[in-house]
Amino acid sequence: MEKESKDIRKLDTDVDKMRIRRKDSEHLKVKENVFDEATLKALYDLARKGVIESLGGSISTGKEANVFLAEGKDKNIALKIYRISSSTFNSMDEYIRGDPRFSNIRHKKKDIIFAWTKKEYRNLMRARECGIAAPRPIDTHKNILAMEFIGEGDKPYPLLKEVKLSEQSAQTIFGTIIHYLELLYSEAKLVHGDLSEYNILLDPSTLEPYLIDMGQSVTLEHPSANDFLKRDIRNLARHFKKYGIQPDEEELLRIITEKQRDK
Ligand SMILES: Nc1ncnc2c1ncn2[C@@H]1O[C@H](COP(=O)(O)OP(=O)(O)OP(=O)(O)O)[C@@H](O)[C@H]1O
Ligand SMILES: [Mg+2]
């Protein structure tokens, strides 16, 4: 644990010092201890393509991915970099196997991670096309997803988990999220699959909730789609209970899946 937090601090400072400039290979070489070679190469490719101008600080170090702030073409972007080395790809495999869009991938670890990254890109795209507030995906390459940065200046918006809301605001936000789940289900034909107060960012001034972290989202054909949706609803209901919102989970499930059933 001690060592891990030290590593994380080192990663933060290393990345802070690091500026990827196009064709500036010396700088990147120094960082080989932070990013494995394949990830460095992928970062280069995106820099050469003009997607990344420079790399900023670390936003988050998750179980499977790190998120970094970066400068894109004249604006901040977020880079989600799935870890090739320590990814818990076995759980990814389970999500991808039942998804017809990924039936022909070779089940090699790297391929699964790359497919997973692409899957998050496509899921975000589908969600946005249906009018859901989510980061606009910009590009995907190997294990890197470049997307719109959801925040103010260099600061990401807070997680829903981190904000204290009035009962009235909570009611509004809850309503919006349920509406998004309905759109996600009936229009995008997706179930988020990991929805909770940890995967929703909130714009504090407009109270717009942004759904993030859609790598594990599945299409409705997925054998566990219904169970994932029930779990998403349960997580939301649990979070909003403290604001006096006590939804009937069965009723929510009915509302979210209604339009799709009518078709
Ligand atoms: N587009 C974005 N704009 C701003 N901040 C973001 C964006 N995407 C992610 N973040 C920040 O990074 C954090 C982690 O992102 P995300 O939830 O997608 O990955 P994760 O939970 O680490 O994934 P996993 O643990 O499953 O690998 C978020 O909680 C959020 O604070
Ligand atoms: Mg997350």
Whether 213 sits among the annotated catalytic residues: the reply is: yes
Please name the amino acid found at residue 151: G
- Name the closest ligand to CA 195: 2
Please give the full DSSP string across 146-195, using - where no structure is assigned: EEE--EETTEEPPBGGG----HHHHHHHHHHHHHHHHHHHHTS-EE-SS-
Exactly one of 213, 232, 248, 262 is catalytic; which is it? 213
Of 27, 75, 78, 70, the residue nearest 52 (C-alpha): 70
Given a cut of 90, whether residue 77 has pLDDT beyond it is yes
- Residue 35's pLDDT is what? 85
- CATH code for 157-262? 1.10.510.10
Q: Which two tokens stand for residue 190?
A: 């997706």
Of 145, 132, 222, 221, residue with least CA distance to 183: 132
Backbone region of residue 105 per phi and psi (left: phi > 0; alpha: psi in -120 to 50; beta: other values): beta
Task: Give the model's pLDDT for residue 259.
Answer: 86
pLDDT at 202: 98
Listing DSSP states for 241-254 in one string gives GGGT----HHHHHH
Read off the pLDDT of residues 174-228 as tens digits, 9 standing for 90 and up.
999 999 999 999 999 999 999 999 999 999 999 999 999 999 999 999 999 999 9
Q: Is the dihedral of CA 98, 99, 100, 103 positive or negative?
A: negative
Q: Reply yes or no on whether the pLDDT at 161 is more than 90.
A: yes
Sorting pLDDT into bands at 50, 70 and 90, what band is 34?
Answer: low
* pLDDT of 13: 43
Ligand 1 nearest atom to the CA of residue 199, by list position: 17
Name the pLDDT band for 112 (thresholds 50, 70, 90).
confident
Nearest residue to 52 (alpha-carbon basis) of 151, 143, 139, 156: 139
Report the CATH number of the 2-152 domain.
Answer: 3.30.200.20
DSSP bridge partners of 109: none
Structure tokens at 95: 């999500």
Q: 40-54, 103-117, 131-145, 208-222: which has the minimum mean pLDDT?
A: 103-117
> Would you list the domain boundaries of the chain?
2-152, 157-262
CA of 186 to the centre of ligand 1 (A): 25
Catalytic annotation present for 203: no
Q: How far is the CA of 67 from the centre of ligand 1 (A)?
A: 6
Distance CA 30, CA 177 (A): 43
Maximum distance among all Cα pairs of the chain, rounded to whole angstroms = 59
3-state helix, strand, coil in the chain (%, to 5): 50, 20, 35
Per-residue b or e along 31-62, where b marks 16 or more CB atoms closer than 10 Å to that residue's CB? beebbeeebbebbbebbeeebbbbbbebbebe
